[in-house]
Amino acid sequence: MLNIRPATPADVPVILRFIRELATYEREPDAVVATEADLLRDGFGSTPRFWALIAELDGEPAGFALYFTSYSTWRGHHGIRLEDLYVTPALRSKGIGKALLVRLAQIAVEQGCPRLEWDVLDWNASAIAVYERIGAHILTEWRIMRLTGDALTSLATTDEC
């Protein structure tokens, strides 16, 4: 039996395991620096920065979705931004990923959110196919921009205005 439920602090070890497995799948196995303490602080502290759903199949963790709120100035409302969606490889093609997306869509509708957004790697054709089947579309005119490391620090400390 499939069950989708909100994550609790007790789920942090499995969430971190899923994050590491996802990083390996996405060809970045050494990129994860998050710790259990980070996840506890940011997901279950006094000011949550994210929320997570746990998918359980027959009582065992099968996947997760980690999300946070975004804000659309054009829409004048917050939305939901899906950061990670992961299903254990042996349990894929059983509807678990779609069930997680369904629950996220329900949360978005319950909160009056006009949008649910996420990223997908361009080489992940099977995920793209699933997303398109549920009605999602790729925003090809947008590109993700990111500042990290020295570039972020350099910009933050510049005295040019």
Indicate which residues carry an active-site annotation.
131
Tokens describing residue 27: 């060809």
Residue showing tokens 């090809």 = 140
The sheet carrying 116-118 orders its strands as: 2-6, 51-57, 60-72, 77-87, 116-118
∠ Cα 120 123 125 (to 5°): 80
Helix (H, G, I), strand (E, B) or coil at 115: coil
Q: What is the DSSP string of 26-79?
A: TT-TT-----HHHHHHHHHSSS-S-EEEEEEETTEEEEEEEEEEEEETTTTEEE
Strand, coil or helix: 126: helix
DSSP 89: G
